[in-house]
């Protein structure tokens, strides 16, 4: 793969995926880097973030954000190094988060970027624990979940970029925290490294019973990332006045038709609150969270983990893996070297 | 039917209904009225309120309140005349709301009763528009629905005791209000008398399309009383940041097995809040609502309607009808004369 200065490589959407995204749903395009307009910044991409929401952007279902057009550059958050800037707030060599695109080089408005300190932790953390996924967990727990000391909190996709932060926040709030994850390795990490009180492997049979054992006092907060059978099992064990944070339902993102959901009769008698969120609705939470969590990442009290694959061309497969649960922690694509 | 002074008649639960409640699921018991203890009040029942929640009390499913025991007196709110009192706050001739039971005469603790002014409106209103159902609508709209001027509010069971108040409150808030009701007579009343902007007859085919026509700007608040096909149709048309007040799902109360519900994927992208309530969780709302709404009932600006059946023995059929939608407005059983 050649990546000459002066040219950039982009992944554009060739067609809307049918089921799982495939490499040939996207096409590689090489073209000259455009000249910078006023207030613009050119970054070379170091890491590209791969997140489940991207499946919605390549579908043509109604959603909270318009889909990527056929032939359009696929969207995604990156961390990169500034190569050139026509805005006084950035100079070459700065590290910037927020440029969007599955691209080797990205031209952004300076206002859309956040400068980060290269020495403040691994660069990938700015896309995961300190970035959009971490902020999502923080905003969701602060604004919807509101876990209280002594309550039981269940987090699905517990080893993922969002779930791992959500559960650690609930532990800091003094809750009993139970994760749900796929497979023994993830469950072990969730318990031993993240410090959850228990973790249920949803791939094993007897999910309802395993949850019941892990949550002897019922469930007060459910942080929903997956939907499907896990949702069904958790909903049956919610306590009165439980809060359900609807963050995602990744188990169905590849499906053409959505399956029915749980009967909602229990919501009345148990006075349950089920509420969805999109992190960009409260943009102020991003800076709040960076300020709060950066010291915790530095001192090691907020744990995180990344799965890193190499090369921009790996992004479609990385998205497929995220939707399958094939990642372990935050999924990143290393697009360029960390240091020039 | 004899009802001698000194005796009372009660309806007790003989067995748990299988499907619709039937008269022989209950038994009549005549027995002497017990002597009053300290702080107790004897009322003779004038009206007994019949409400959908009662189906939960005769089932043995887990619920927010324990079920009525087999052989126990069936519960229900009443308005009655005080015949005797060992508490200084009540004297014979007073009208009291709050005594509970499917009974001709009820012994209550004075603290559980509210004295009402016989001249302040029809007595039945204290069980409907000014009572538990009206308070439910008020609390639900205040605490969950929070309708804002210009929003579209849909209310199911719109001609019922709760729905009729919920919709009129939304009209007062400056909303476009669309009812859903069963049959042309109810729909006409909801529009012409209650002043809703439109009303959709759920018995006709094409519910989704009819709702879409009635709600050209989508739905911002859904006041849920019924569940089933109406819920499914409304959920498809909710706007971003919509609130769903889960007040009841009467369409399934007679069912042994609950059907699946709607897929909840939309809750994330649309940031919907779905929340249940039980009116007794906020007891302060009862007095608030009586104070607020009594003048509106007197001046005719808050409309209400009752279906009244005669005789305590009619209560089981009245409950069956409420669960079928056979009532029109608040369902009451006239157990005794309005004036002695």
Res. A5 pLDDT band, cuts 50 70 90: low
**pLDDT for the residue B70:** 97
Is A206 in the B-facing interface, judged by CB distances under 8 Å? no
| B111/B89 Cα distance (integer angstroms) | 9
B224-277 residue pLDDT tens: 999 999 999 999 999 999 999 999 999 999 999 999 999 999 999 999 999 999
Q: Which residues of A108-139 are buried (b: 16+ CB within 10 A; e: fewer)?
A: bebeebeebeeebbbbbbbbbbbbbbbbbbbb
Contact B312, B9 (CB under 8 A): yes
Longest alpha-carbon distance in chain B: 64
Rg (CA), chain A: 20
Indicate yes or no: CB of B264 within 8 angstroms of CB of A227. yes
Judge whether A67 is closer than 8 Å to chain B, CB to CB. no
Secondary structure string (H, E, C) spanning B124-168 = HHHHCCCCHHHHHHHHHHHHHHCCCCCCEEEEECCCCHHHHHHHH
Measure B281 CA to nearest chain A CA, in Å: 9
Q: Look at residue B266 in the predicted model and tell me its pLDDT.
A: 96
- Set of chain B residues whose Cβ sits within 8 Å of the Cβ of A63: 269
Task: Provide CB contacts within 8 A for B74, sequence distance 6+.
Answer: B11, B12, B13, B26, B54, B57, B58, B68, B101, B102, B315
B269 and A CB contact within 8 Å: yes
Which token pair is B240? Answer: 């971003």
Tell me the pLDDT band of B30, cut-offs 50, 70 and 90: very high
pLDDT for B4 beyond 80: no
Measured in angstroms, the CA of B173 and the nearest CA of chain A are apart by 24
What contacts B331, CB < 8 A, 6 or more positions away? B49, B50, B51, B161, B306, B307, B309, B318, B321, B322
How far apart (Å, rounded) are the C-alpha atoms in residues B313 and A221?
Answer: 45
Say if residue A182's pLDDT is above 60. yes
Please spell the DSSP secondary structure of B299-318, one letter per residue: TTSS---EEEEESGGGHHHH
Contact A261 B262 (CB under 8 A): yes
Among B246, B263, B278, whose Cβ lies nearest the Cβ of A259? B263
Residue in chain B lying closest to A264 (CA): B261
Residue A339 has what pLDDT? 81
Tell me how close the Cα of B120 comes to any Cα of chain A, in angstroms.
Answer: 32
Q: For the segment B103-113, what is each residue's pLDDT rounded down to a tens digit?
A: 999 999 999 99
Q: Which residues of B touch A281 (CB under 8 A)?
A: 271
Contact A270 B277 (CB under 8 A): no
More confidently predicted of B12 and B340: B12
- From residue A206, alpha-carbon distances to A139, A214, B201, B293 in Å are 32, 12, 44, 52
pLDDT at A2 (0 to 100): 42
Distances (CA, A) of A61 to A65, A281, A328, B197, B208: 10, 20, 28, 31, 18
For the domain covering B132-280, report its CATH number: 3.40.50.720
The residue to which tokens 């935050």 are assigned:
A330
B154: which residues sit within 8 A by CB, 6+ positions away? Answer: B177, B178, B179, B180, B211, B215, B219, B221, B222, B223, B234
From A272's Cα to the closest Cα of chain B, the distance in A is: 6
What number is the average pLDDT over the span B53-82? Answer: 94
| Distance from C-alpha of B239 to C-alpha of A308, rounded to nearest angstrom | 38
Inter-chain touch B261–A259, beta carbons under 8 Å: no
The rounded percent of chain A whose pLDDT value lies above 90 is: 94
Confidence of residue B1 (pLDDT cuts 50, 70, 90): very low
Considering chain B, what is the average pLDDT of its residues? 95
Number of alpha helices (DSSP H) and beta strands (DSSP E) in chain A: 9, 15
Choose among B247, B272, B273: nearest Cβ to A268: B247
Residue in A63, A64, A249 nearest the CB of B264: A249
Instruction: Indicate whether B141 pLDDT > 90.
Output: yes
Question: B271 touching A, CB under 8 A?
Answer: yes
Provide mean pLDDT across the span A206-231: 98
B291 CB near a chain A CB, below 8 Å? no
pLDDT at position A250 is 95
Closest in A249, A261, A271 to B281, CB measured: A271
To the nearest whole number, what is the mean pLDDT of chain A?
95
Answer whether B64 sits within 8 Å of A277, measured CB to CB: no
Q: Which residue of A has its CA nearest to B268?
A: A276
The single-letter DSSP state of residue B264 is: -
Whose structure tokens read 């004369």?
B337
CA distance B228 to chain A (A): 9
Q: Compute how many other C-beta atoms are within 10 angstroms of the C-beta atom of residue A324.
A: 13
- Determine, for residues A274 and B270 on separate chains, whether the beta-carbon distance falls below 8 Å: no
Give B66-110 as a DSSP string: PPPPTTSBPP-EEEEEEEEESSTT--TT-EEEEEESSBSEEEEEG
From chain B, the residues in CB contact with A271 under 8 A are: 64, 275-278, 281
Q: What is the pLDDT of residues A34-70, one digit of tens each?
A: 999 999 999 999 999 999 999 999 998 888 889 999 9
Q: B246 CB near a chain A CB, below 8 Å?
A: yes
Give B-chain residues touching A275 at CB under 8 angstroms: 267, 271-275
The answer as to CATH 3.90.1150.10 being correct for domain A7-128+305-334 is: no
Mutate: best of A239, A243, A249, A264, partner B, most B CBs <10 A = A264
Mean pLDDT value of segment B111-133:
92
Of B227, B265, B276, the CB nearest to A252: B265
Q: Cβ A270–B261 below 8 Å, yes or no?
A: no
Per residue in A116-150, pLDDT tens? 988 777 999 999 999 999 999 999 999 999 999 99
For residue A114, give every residue at least 6 positions away whose Cβ sits within 8 Å of its Cβ, in sequence order, or none. Answer: A96, A97, A98, A286, A287, A290
State yes or no: pLDDT of A1 exceeds 50.
no
B180 touching A, CB under 8 A?
Answer: no
* B276·A267 Cβ contact <8 A: yes
What ipTM describes this predicted complex? Answer: 0.94
Nearest to A263 among B259, B263, B271 (CB): B259
Helices (H) and strands (E) in chain B, counts: 9, 15
**Mean pLDDT computed over B82-97:** 97
pLDDT at A35: 93
Judge: B273–A269 Cβ closer than 8 Å, yes or no: no
Q: Above 90 in pLDDT, residue B119?
A: no
B249 contact A CB<8A: yes
Please state the rounded mean pLDDT for residues B220-225: 98
Residues B7-128+304-334, CATH architecture = Alpha-Beta Complex (3.90)
Residue spans of the domains in chain A: they are 7-128+305-334, 132-280
B224: tokens are 């849920």
Contact B268 A278 (CB under 8 A): yes
pLDDT at A159 over 60: yes
Q: What is the pLDDT of residue B158?
A: 98
How many Å apart are CA A310 and CA A335, to the nearest integer? 6
Q: CB–CB of A275 and B274 under 8 A?
A: yes
Distance CA B75, CA A301 (A): 54
Question: B65-77 pLDDT, tens per residue?
Answer: 899 999 999 999 9
Instruction: Judge contact between A64 and A113, C-beta under 8 A.
Output: no
Please indicate whether the domains covering B7-128+304-334 and B132-280 agree at the CATH topology level.
no
- B269 near B243, Cβ under 8 Å? no
């Amino acid at each position: 793969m050649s990546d000459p200065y002066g040219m950039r490589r982009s992944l554009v959407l060739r067609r809307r995926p049918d089921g799982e995204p495939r490499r040939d749903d996207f096409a590689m395009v090489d073209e000259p880097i455009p000249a910078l307009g006023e207030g613009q910044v050119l970054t070379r991409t170091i890491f590209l973030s791969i997140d489940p929401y991207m499946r919605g952007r390549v579908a043509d279902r109604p959603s909270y954000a318009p889909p990527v057009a056929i032939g359009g550059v696929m969207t995604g958050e990156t961390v990169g190094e500034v190569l050139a800037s026509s805005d006084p707030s950035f100079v070459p060599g700065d590290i910037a988060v927020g440029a969007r695109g599955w691209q080797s080089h990205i031209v952004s408005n300076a206002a859309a970027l956040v400068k980060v300190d290269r020495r403040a932790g691994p660069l990938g953390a700015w896309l995961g624990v300190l970035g959009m996924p971490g902020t999502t967990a923080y905003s969701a727990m602060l604004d919807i979940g509101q876990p209280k000391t002594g309550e039981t909190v269940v987090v699905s996709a517990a080893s993922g970029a969002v779930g791992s932060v959500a559960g650690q926040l609930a532990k800091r709030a003094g809750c009993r925290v139970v994760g749900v994850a796929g497979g023994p390795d993830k469950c072990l990490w969730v318990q031993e490294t993240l410090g959850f009180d228990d973790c249920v492997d949803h791939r094993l049979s007897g999910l309802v019973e395993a949850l019941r054992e892990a949550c002897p006092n019922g469930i007060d907060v459910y942080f929903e990332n997956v939907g499907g059978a896990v949702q069904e099992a958790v909903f049956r064990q919610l306590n009165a006045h439980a809060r359900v944070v609807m963050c995602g339902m990744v188990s169905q993102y590849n499906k053409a038709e959505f399956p029915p959901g749980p009967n909602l009769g229990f919501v009345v008698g148990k006075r349950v609150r089920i509420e969805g969120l999109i992190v960009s609705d409260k943009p102020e939470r991003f800076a709040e969270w960076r300020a709060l969590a950066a010291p915790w990442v530095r001192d090691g009290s907020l744990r995180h983990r990344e799965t890193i694959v190499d090369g921009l061309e790996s992004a479609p497969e990385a998205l497929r893996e995220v939707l399958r649960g094939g990642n372990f922690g935050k999924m990143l694509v290393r697009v360029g070297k960390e240091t020039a």
